[in-house]
Amino acid sequence: MSSLGADLWRRALRVMPGGVNSPVRSFRSVDSTPFFVGRGEGPFLCDTDGRRYVDYVLSWGPLILGHAPPPVVEAVRLQLERGTSYGAPTEGEVELAERITRLMPAVEMVRLVNSGTEATMSALRVARAATGRDAVLKFSGCYHGHTDAFLVAAGSGVATLGLPDSPGVTRGAASDTMVVPFNDLDAVADALRERGDAVAAVFVEPVAGNAGLIEPLPGFLSGLRELTWRHGALLVFDEVMTGFRVALGGAQARYGVEPDLTTLGKVIGGGLPVGAYGGRRELMERVAPAGPVYQAGTLSGNPLATAAGNAQLAWLEEHDPYAGLEVVARRVALGIATAIRTVGLAAAGTAVGSMMGVFFRGEAPRSFEQAQDSDVRAFRRFHSAMLDRGVFLAPSPFEAGFVSTVHGGAEVDLTLAAAREAAEHVAREMR
Ligand SMILES: *Cc1c(COP(=O)(O)O)cnc(C)c1O
């Protein structure tokens, strides 16, 4: 191998842990090594060796308008010429905060941060301050970033590497975290009956996207609303992935359930580093300097990031593309599942808004426990066969896929043709 990508990989392995800056990029969970990106163009990624892939990873969610969409590029270019960071207030921050609070009525006030991890970490601090309680209840397979309190049964990257907990997370931090299965209201009720007066917050991905894609069962989210009210715990929707992905107002609009606090990231940054947390005014007024809960950031509300985020959200607000995105996501997910079933392997596809999931099992799972019971070997082979045919699916069986507004009929046709070939290839290999 003497390609530029192979050379970069050798250099990367010498100077970065595992060769990457985020574990899921390493392709370890598909027993492979990653390509290096040269550029993104609309629905495509082009690698450094001149190969082109239809991209269903889209930077793991942020790029709902595809790569380098003109309105975002133009907004960033204009800002770039005026400076990249000031450490002083800007109009872009006010605009982004106003836009988020307008589109998500449960978010009355919002604080911008730099990542989803920072958003969930800070929301938990606010919840603990507001309730005077320490414990947090989460769901297995839900990922809320990599802070200690949440690195328990945390799905995707952690799951595929076989590290249910991480060394370095203290027993103390983990012991404040309770974990129950997604979509299991009885388990939530039991946990809250037992330790309810210690629980500051129930954190949930309202549509689980870090365990593959798992839809909430009817009544699950409203049941959480009811139970948290009863036990005096706050309900936090972690919409870092689902926010402005499954509907303009996020999962809370789609399912009609209002959380106390909401965390955001990914889409609201238009591909630049951003996170946000927000909620009821009375809760957010506890955050410094309005209140005593300390949280700060040198680059928070960064002008390039707010320019990109404002441009992307403005486009989404104007066009409300979610019904069309869901049609495309459904065609891709169900089409891939059909191709796999056609060769005699088990497969199920699901889509919610612009998110999609394909599972190598007979039925779409309702929990991470069910998702794990899938044919991971077949997935690995399929992933690699799709890559060979110019389609980039997330390199893990426990990740959602994404479509953008520039994934059109031609890309879908190419994908489904590749899926039929890849499925036959996998069936031959596994015979
Ligand atoms: C991606 C993600 C996070 C973490 O966001 P980062 O920006 O990677 O820190 C948190 N919660 C959910 C639901 C996510 O999908």
Q: How far is the CA of 420 from the centre of ligand 1 (A)?
A: 32
CA distance 423 to 211: 22
Q: How far is the CA of 121 from the centre of ligand 1 (A)?
A: 11
Catalytic residue among 53, 56, 143, 277: 143
For 121-142, give one letter per residue: b (16+ CB within 10 A) or e: bbbbbbbbbbbebebbbbbbbb
Q: Which of 24, 117, 213, 246 for mutating ligand 1's site (highest number of atoms within 8 Å of CB)?
A: 117
- Using a cut of 0.85, tell me whether the model's pTM lies above it: yes
To which residue do tokens 């069962």 refer?
Answer: 217
340, 330 contact by CB (below 8 A): no
Q: Which of 20, 114, 120 for mutating ligand 1's site (highest number of atoms within 8 Å of CB)?
A: 120
Q: Is the peptide bond prior to 395 cis by the omega test (within 30 degrees of 0)?
A: no
256, 83 contact by CB (below 8 A): no
Residues lining ligand 1, Cβ inside 6 A: 115-117, 120, 143-145, 205, 209-210, 238, 240-241, 265, 275
Q: Which of 112, 121, 144, 261 for mutating ligand 1's site (highest number of atoms within 8 Å of CB)?
A: 144
Catalytic residue among 47, 176, 184, 238: 238
Look up residue 61 and give its two tokens.
Answer: 């969610």
Q: Which amino acid is at 378?
A: A
CA distance 413 to 336: 11
In this structure, the residue with its CA closest to atom 6 of ligand 1 is 116
Atom of ligand 1 nearest to the CA of 265: 7
Atom of ligand 1 nearest to the CA of 205: 13
Atom of ligand 1 nearest to the CA of 115: 7
Nearest 5°: phi and psi at 116? Answer: -65, -35
Sign of the dihedral through C-alpha 255, 256, 260, 261: positive
Q: What DSSP designation does 17 have? A: G
Helix axes 303-319, 91-103, angle to 10 degrees: 40
CA distance 76 to 363: 43
To which residue do tokens 């609070």 refer?
Answer: 101
CA distance 419 to 406: 20
Residue-level pLDDT at 152? 78
Residue-level pLDDT at 166? 79
Q: How far is the CA of 116 from the centre of ligand 1 (A)?
A: 4
Q: How far is the CA of 407 from the centre of ligand 1 (A)?
A: 23
Condensed to tens digits (0 to 9), the pLDDT of residues 120-163 reads: 999 999 999 999 999 999 999 999 999 988 987 766 555 444 44
Residue-level pLDDT at 159? 47
Q: How far is the CA of 383 from the centre of ligand 1 (A)?
A: 23
CA distance 430 to 273: 41
295, 128 contact by CB (below 8 A): no
Active site residue 266: yes
pLDDT mean values, one per 10 residues, the chain (431 residues): 90 97 92 96 97 98 98 98 98 98 98 98 98 96 92 62 66 86 96 93 97 96 98 98 98 98 98 98 98 97 98 98 98 98 97 97 95 94 97 94 98 98 96 83
